Amino acid sequence: MVAAVAHENRPKPLLSCPLKVTFGFTMPRPKSHYGTGKKAGTLKPNAPFYHTSAPDTTKLIRSTEDAMKKIIWVDDSQIADQNAVKLYGDIPGCHVTIEQL
């Protein structure tokens, strides 16, 4: 999926400079985060904001970087500055921001 979206947004030519990449991973919430009965579909007040279980953030970053190799950038070793966050949300996915340094 990452490679497919990367192909739709690929630069020409491939980025070959140092890069800053920010990853925002949105993970699906388990049913236990929601109420039951009349409150079904309502997020519990104590439902966490941050996703702190598997998969770990570094594995998500690595797979996403690798999927964009030779599509967006020449090699992920060009990434000199990176940041990532892993949150719960309604629509699972990843938002990637790429800046040339």
What pLDDT does residue 18 have?
98
Q: Are 53 and 87 in contact (CB under 8 A)?
A: no
Buried b (16+ CB within 10 A) or exposed e, 29-43: beeeeeeeeeeeeee
- pTM of the prediction? 0.87
For the chain, domains (ranges, CATH) are: 2-9+17-100 (3.30.1330.70)
pLDDT per position in the chain (101 positions), as tens?
999 999 999 999 999 999 999 999 999 999 999 999 898 889 999 999 999 999 999 999 999 999 999 999 999 999 999 999 999 998 999 999 999 99
Q: Which residue in 23, 79, 32, 95 sits closest to 56, CA to CA? A: 23
With DSSP H G I counted as helix, E B as strand and the rest as coil, what are the percentages for the chain, rounded to 5? 30, 35, 35
